[in-house]
Amino acid sequence: MPKAGSGVKLDGQGQPLWLCLELTYRCPLQCPWCSNPVDFADYSDELTTEEWKRVLREGRELGALQLGFTGGEPLIRKDLEELVDYANGLGYYTNLITSGMGLTEERLLDLKKAGLKQIQLSIQSCDSNVTNELVGTDAHDKKLAVAKLIKKHDFPMVLNVPVVRQNVDLVPGILKMAEELKVEFLEFANVQYYNWALLNRKELIPTKEQLDRAEAAVNETRARVGDDMTIYFVIPDYYDGKPKACMNGWGNIHLTVAPDGSGLPCQECRVLKDVEYNSVRDHSLAWIWHESPAFNLYRGQDWMKEPCKTCDEKEQDFGGCRCQSYLLTGDATNTDPACSRSPFHNLVEETVKEANAPNRIYQPLVMRRANRSENTAVSG
Amino acid sequence: MGEETAFSVTDQVEINPLYMFRWEEAQDAYVLLYPEGIVKLNETAGEILHHCSQSSSVGDLIKKMKTHYAASDPATAEKVEDGVYKFLEVSHAKGWIRRKT
Ligand code: SF4
Ligand code: SF4
Question: What share of chain A has pLDDT > 70, as a percent?
Answer: 94
Report the separation in Å between the CA atom of A266 and the middle of ligand 1, taken as the mean of its atom positions. Answer: 16
Q: Is residue B87 part of a domain?
A: yes
Distance from the Cα of A370 to chain B's closest Cα (Å) equals 30
Q: What pLDDT band is residue A43 in, cutting at 50, 70 and 90?
A: confident
Residues of chain A that touch chain B, judged by Cβ-Cβ distance less than 8 Å: 3, 6-8, 10, 13, 15, 17, 63, 65-66, 91, 93, 95, 117-118, 120, 156-158, 184-185, 226-228
Which residues form ligand 1's pocket by a CB distance below 6 Å?
A: A 27, 29-31, 34, 36, 71-73, 99, 368
> Which among B1, B24, B37 is the nearest to A8, CB-wise?
B37
pLDDT at A11: 56
Spatial separation of the C-alpha atoms in residues A347 and A332, rounded to whole Å: 15
- Give residue-wise pLDDT tens across range A210-219: 999 999 999 9
- The pLDDT of A70-76, averaged and rounded, is 95
- Residue A226: what pLDDT? 84
Identify the sign of the CA torsion A102, A107, A109, A112: negative
How many domains does one find in chain B?
1
Answer yes or no: is B1 within a domain. Answer: no
Concatenating the DSSP letter of every residue in A20-75 gives: EEE--S--S---TT--S-TTGGG---PPPHHHHHHHHHHHHHTT--EEEEESS-GG
For B42, the domain range is: 13-95
- Model confidence at A9: pLDDT above 60: no
- The residues that bridge with A95 in the sheet, in sequence order, are A68, A118
Pick B90 or A287 by higher pLDDT. Answer: A287
Complex confidence, ipTM: 0.78
Q: Which residue has the higher pLDDT, B31 or A2?
A: B31
- Mean of the pLDDT values across residues A3-8? 36
pTM, entire model: 0.88
Given B18, B33, B35, which is nearest A65 (Cβ)? Answer: B33
* pLDDT score for A10: 53
Position B7 in a domain: no
In contact, A67 and A19? CB cutoff 8 Å: yes
> In this structure, is residue B5 part of a structural domain?
no
pLDDT score of A311 more than 80: yes
Residue A13: its pLDDT value, please? 67
Q: Which has the closest alpha carbon to A339: A331, A348, A330?
A: A348
- Element of type H or E holding A326: helix A322-329
Q: Is position B39 within any domain?
A: yes
CB atoms within 10 A of CB A235: 17
A7 close to ligand 2 (CB < 6 Angstrom): no
For residue A376, pLDDT over 60 is answered with no
Q: Would you place residue A237 in the very low, low, confident or very high pLDDT band (cuts 50, 70, 90)?
A: confident
A273 pLDDT more than 80: yes
Is the sign of the CA dihedral B65, B70, B74, B80 positive or negative?
A: negative
Per-residue confidence (pLDDT) for residue A377, from 0 to 100 = 45
Most B CBs within 10 Å: which of A10, A17, A65, A119, as the mutation test of the B interface?
A: A65
* Tens-level pLDDT at each residue, chain B (101 residues): 444 568 888 888 889 888 899 999 888 899 999 987 889 999 889 999 998 888 888 998 998 898 888 878 888 888 888 889 999 998 988 889 988 87
Question: In the predicted model, what is the mean pLDDT of residues A197-208?
Answer: 89
pLDDT, residue A375, reads: 61
Quick one: pLDDT at residue A372? 67
The rounded percent of chain B whose pLDDT value lies above 90 is 15
Residue A2 pLDDT exceeds 50: no
Residue B91 lies inside a defined structural domain of this protein: yes
CA torsion sign for A365, A370, A372, A374 is negative
Own/partner pairs, B18-22, CB within 8 angstroms, 24+ separation: B18/A156, B18/A184, B18/B95, B19/B96, B20/A93, B20/A117, B21/B49, B21/B50, B21/B53, B22/A91
pLDDT average, residue stretch A132-156? 94
Inter-chain CB proximity B33 and A184 less than 8 Å? no
Over the stretch A317-368, which tens digit does the pLDDT of each residue have?
889 999 889 899 999 999 999 999 999 999 989 888 888 887 777 788 899 9
What is the rounded average pLDDT of the residues A76-94? Answer: 96
Has residue B38 been placed in a domain? yes
What CATH number should be reported for the domain holding residue B67? 3.90.930
Measure the CA–CA gap between A375 and A367, rounded to whole angstroms. 7
Asked whether residue B100 is domain-assigned, the answer is no
